[in-house]
Amino acid sequence: DPAKAPRMAALAEPIRGPVVRRFRSLARELKICLAFGLTEREGNELFNTAVLIDHRGRVCGTHRKARLAEGSHPSWYFDRMGHRLRAFDTPLGRAGLVICYERWNPHIARTLVLDGARYLLIPSYGSRARQQNQAVVNRARENGVPIVEASVGLSLIVSKGEMVAYKLGYDRITVATIEIPEPPSEHAARASERLFLKRRPAR
């Protein structure tokens, strides 16, 4: 709803603002890693941004949403889209952030895994459509990494290509124990590279 844009702008703040500071403090206090989304302000521009904080309260990385849902326009809420897709190091291994609708784009997950991501996190304000579950499972199977999506009403955890936890409800906690794969050995890395080379992206 474009009518909500002024309120989004009023709530926007920089990465160094009070919301991120609060989550950094909470992560340190609880000794947990946190991933969440916010409306980021940089100068006069607004971004849909995801942030990952480690258990020491350090910002490990951020991602500005690079793909909008069909029928949306950035001027409704945000002035600019992100233009970089990169993984970053965390205490749990190298990670990638994907925001909401971007789950549907296989190239976003693949780009992050090519950059070394061993797991993906998806903060989302998505629908309850079960098709989006399958999209997350597909991204996990295509890339051989676990994925956790936290949403308002539909959250899931995928490990080894299978959905291991799923909750449909706004005030629910979704929990599972998963194994984050180690960086591949040289031999396995070469095999993985051969698989990814079959993408033929220039064709």
Residues 130 and 169 in one domain: yes
The helix/strand count (H/E) of the chain reads as 5, 8
Q: What is the pLDDT of residues 65-97, one digit of tens each?
A: 988 776 566 555 565 666 789 999 999 999 999
**Residue-by-residue DSSP string for 96-134:** EE--GGGGG-HHHHHHHHHTT-SEEEEE------HHHHH
Residues 24 and 105 in one domain: no
Residues 30 and 10 in one domain: yes
Domain that holds residue 76: 1-84
Q: pTM for this one?
A: 0.86
Residues 77 and 91 in one domain: no
pLDDT (average), residues 124-132: 76
Residues 42 and 95 in one domain: no
Given this model, what pLDDT does residue 192 score? 56
54, 84, 114 - which closes a domain: 84
- Tally of domains within the chain: 2
